Structure 1
Amino acid sequence: MADDKIKKLSFVKRVFHSFLEYAASLLGGILVFLCIYWFFHFETWHERFIYIAVSIVVVYIIVKLLPERPEE
């Protein structure tokens, strides 16, 4: 019966994981504006595609490196 109990995360860990989730959301929002900036900053489609693709890949890698929130 003791194994059936769900362990609760400490307050610090919950705050830390909440901060990581909000930071990832903020990073996604920044990515939208960055892609819009790249689109209007460059004159050729080649440059636009390279900068937008690299920005998306970098953010994707950063988000995949973040730890997932454990069960509460």
Structure 2
Amino acid sequence: MLALPCPHCGTRDEAEFQFGGEPAIRPPSAVTDTVWAEYVYMRSNEKGPHRELWCHAGGCGQWFVLTRNTATHAVLP
């Protein structure tokens, strides 16, 4: 079980959350297909500390960014 800290509700079970991927700035609407494909499909897939978007869908509904070690699943400050 992965326990995630919601900044609004406190620590909750992973089942209450929806993963949102890497936080990234959306490219402008007038970009090439290559740039858009890189934004949509290319992920860094890092091993170790990684910033992630999460939504507390089963609770307050708020989106937030947290840093998690992808090798150990530990949530980092």
TM over 0.5: no
Q: Which has the larger radius of gyration?
A: 1
Length-normalised TM-score, structure 1: 0.30
Structure with more helix by fraction: 1
Length-normalised TM-score, structure 2: 0.29
Structure with more strand by fraction: 2
